[in-house]
Chain A
Amino acid sequence: MKIRKANAGTLTNFEVLDFLRSRGAATDPTRVIAPMAQSEFKVYDYLVQTAACNQTKESIDEFLKKCKQYDLAKAEILNIINIRPASAVEIDSIIEECEKRMGERVEELVEMVVQVLPPPPNEPKPEEGMDEDKEENPIAEQMEAS
């Protein structure tokens, strides 16, 4: 076995979740019919509880466009997409030297994240959470029908 390219591209949690869904993880309640191993189902179970389960390709593209003005490192952008911080305290652990580089703009960045990326499933904010869940269901039904 030869390793041709150790790193052929980073994946966000959403992309891995999308890949597992396209193999049939979401639509199979028995977990035997879909052509996936049990270990892949465990990864699916984990990802469905994180912020990635409500994200869409469009929201991530929009976020990438808007965060160019903040001059963040690639690893920081990846962390923000995977975790979806909702307050300044959470962003502080993701971005290095947050106060020096961003200063007052941290609040702007948090606002933008909360607007552009959908909240994770167990978020204690009923209005946002329920709207996003309703949006997600039609997409899931489309996938089942196809």
Chain B
Amino acid sequence: MQRQVALIKQSLFDQGYLDEQFMELEELQDDVNPNFVEEVSALYFKDSARLINNIDQALERGSFDFNRLDSYMHQFKGSSTSIGASKVKTECTMFREYCRAGNAEGCLRTFQQLKKEHATLRKKLEHYFQLARQAGPKETARRPK
């Protein structure tokens, strides 16, 4: 089981969904924070969902306030970076580029992409965490509680 979990995680990294930052987070997980990574992920998805919503609304309005969009995206990028959501981060960067260029079309397109990546990551992570929980204590050696 644990091996399976490890494999899944590895694939996430390989596929570029996650980066080193995620590993850093895992480092932080310990007895005091046994589910740290999962908690943080949950927080992230909650936050980012809210942000995505805001951006969606802004885009739907069609007003294309690039400054505001850029600002949202900056936030999004910040949290994505913190959690190590690599692909999402990339999309964020692209989105901001389009914003700066004032390219509404580009923004819309990128945003769609971003949402997709975001959703995918979420699913994968959720799956991963589920398995990890089932597999028992983290694979990293820890003193049994």
A, B in one complex: no
Using a CB–CB cutoff of 8 Å, the interface residues on chain B facing chain A are none
